[in-house]
């Protein structure tokens, strides 16, 4: 057999890409199964706003690494769906503070249910210690990538 199989060894890239893709697909399906009229970015932003109340679009763009134009659009959609409210930042009249309204919070609770199911599937048979190890190593990788892109 020798080293003929080298090209087939599991690559970190494969794992990352596949994992992200499969997770996205699973989440999408779960959200759909819960009859939530939301796409991936809607879900993502609602979560961000839920986690960071009174954040600004700019902050979300920074944390997620997405383009601010994209954030603007999704935020506008969420507002037109009456899920979030935008209030001008008293400290800086250019900025707007984002927060979930009641309807948004209700939906968020159902999103959480849907995602918890996916998480339960994802983590089946993986003990707490391994989960933490995975997250810890993953975060170190993230730091590596973020640092390198800062000094572009």
Partner DNA sequence: TCAATTAGTAGACAATATCAACCATAATTT
Partner DNA sequence: AAATTATGGTTGATATTGTCTACTAATTGA
Which positions from 52 to 71 touch DNA by CB under 7 A, shown as an x/- string? ----xxxx-x----xxxxx-
Distance of CA 42 to the CA centre of its chain: 10
Q: What is the nearest approach in angstroms of DNA to the Cβ of residue 38? A: 8
Smaller CB distance to DNA: residue 127 or 148? Answer: 148
Task: State the minimum distance, in angstroms, from the CB of residue 78 to DNA.
Answer: 11
Q: Quick one: which of 88, 34, 28 has its CA closest to 57?
A: 88
Determine if 26 is a binding residue for DNA (CB under 7 A).
no
Helices (H) and strands (E) in the chain, counts: 6, 2
Length of the chain as a residue count: 152
Cβ proximity to its own copies: between 94 and 150 the closer is 150
| Nearer of residues 20 and 109 to its own copies, judged by Cβ | 20
Q: What is the DSSP letter of 94?
A: E
Dist. CA 103–CA 1, nearest whole Å: 60
Question: Which residues 122-151 are close enough to bind DNA by CB under 7 A?
Answer: none
Residue ranges in contact with its own copies by CB under 8 A: 7-8, 10, 12-13, 15-27, 29, 44, 50-51, 64-66, 115, 119, 121-126, 130-131, 133-135, 137-142, 144-146, 148-149
N-to-C CA span, the chain: 42
Binding mask 28-47 for DNA (x = CB under 7 A): x----------xxxx-----
Backbone angles phi and psi of 74, in degrees to 5? -65, -40
Q: For residue 3, what is the DSSP state?
A: T
Q: What does 139 bind: DNA, its own copies, none (CB cut-off 5 to 8 Å by kind)? A: its own copies
């Amino acid at each position: 057999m020798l080293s003929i199989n080298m090209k087939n060894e599991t690559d970190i890239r494969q794992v990352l890409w596949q994992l992200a893709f499969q997770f996205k697909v699973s989440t999408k399906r779960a959200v759909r199964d819960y009859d939530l009229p939301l796409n991936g970015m809607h879900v993502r932003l609602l979560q961000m706003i839920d986690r960071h109340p009174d954040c600004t679009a700019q902050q979300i763009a920074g944390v997620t690494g997405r383009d601010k134009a994209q954030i603007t659009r999704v935020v506008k959609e969420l507002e037109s769906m009456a899920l979030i409210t935008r209030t001008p930042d008293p400290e800086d009249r250019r900025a707007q503070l984002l927060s979930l309204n009641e309807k948004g919070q209700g939906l968020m609770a159902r999103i959480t249910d849907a995602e918890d199911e996916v998480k339960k599937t994802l983590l089946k048979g993986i003990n707490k210690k391994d989960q933490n190890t995975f997250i810890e190593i993953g975060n170190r990788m993230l730091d590596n990538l973020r640092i390198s892109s800062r000094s572009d």
